[in-house]
Amino acid sequence: MKTPAPPSGSIAPVSIEPVSIERLRELTPARVALGRAGASMPTEALLAFTLDHARARDAVHAAFDASRLMAELAGLGLNALEVSSQARDRRDYLRRPDLGRMLDAGSRRSLADRSGARCELAVVIGDGLSPAAVNLHAVELVRNLAARLAEAGIGVGAVVVASGARVALGDEIGAVLGARMVVMLIGERPGMSAPDSLGAYLTFGPRIGLTDAERNCISNIHGAGLSYDEAAFKIAWLVREGLARQLTGVALKDESAGLPVQIAADPAL
């Protein structure tokens, strides 16, 4: 029997080549098509899951090497200030997220002593939920970011290393310093395929009480994700545009893709 021709004006069906499960597994680190052994997963898949889970837990509880970060930032010519949140230890930090959003009294006084001069941009490096990510990636990202910001004619007014930090701690730090914008580099919640992922959160006009809708985020900065230079390019582009338009968050879209390699200082370009 002959297949009837499609009605005039209709779209003919398109034949799609099926993608093999093996090919899908090559395209993602996600756990797909693991197979099974009886009612359970194969031993190899179970052991891999257990290992990745252990790596994620280790990343959360890794020691934050603030002193090494301070020394390496000094090697980049950046005079950083070290502060702490109100979370007294890692146990406090994990059980009381609110404490990680507020500076302790001594740190607030230290920052207040540094305020006064106009600060265009403050960069805060916080341990977050993966100190391992910050220890591994933060300094190299700052090195690349400083170069990209220089292309745009933007200087870093202050650098702060914060222990026991949640993202919103950058709001208070930026407000005390009088910064027009703050970039918070922080360890992201470890995933089963990326325990060392770093994130960057940008906030214009930082002040206590802002929500995530008022920030821009660049995430997945790690060996198998965004490279340091790719991330630095996106962050610098958003900093330039955020300062020029005086906003960040849902009103500022990342349109940096496809732009020239060099970031022009002129916001109109």
pLDDT digits (tens, 9 = 90+) for 8-24: 666 666 665 666 777 77
Q: Is the Cβ–Cβ distance between 113 and 192 less than 8 Å?
A: no
Answer yes or no: is pLDDT of 269 > 90: no
What per-residue string of b and e applies to 123-159 under the rule 16 or more CB within 10 Å gives b? bbbbbbbbbbbbbbbbbbbbbbbbebbeebebebbbb
Which pLDDT value is given to residue 33? 79
- What tens digit of pLDDT does each residue of 206-259 get? 999 999 999 999 999 999 899 999 999 999 999 999 999 999 999 999 988 755
The whole-model pTM stands at 0.85
Tokens 């207040």 belong to residue: 112
CA distance 84 to 125: 11
Q: Give mean pLDDT, residues 168-182.
A: 96
Question: Which candidate, 150, 73, 160, 146, places its Cα nearest to that of 115?
Answer: 160
Q: Is the Cβ–Cβ distance between 218 and 252 less than 8 Å?
A: no
The arrangement of secondary structure in 70-245, i.e. its CATH architecture, is 3-Layer(aba) Sandwich (3.40)
CA distance 174 to 31: 40
Answer yes or no: is pLDDT of 188 > 80: yes
CA distance 86 to 269: 43
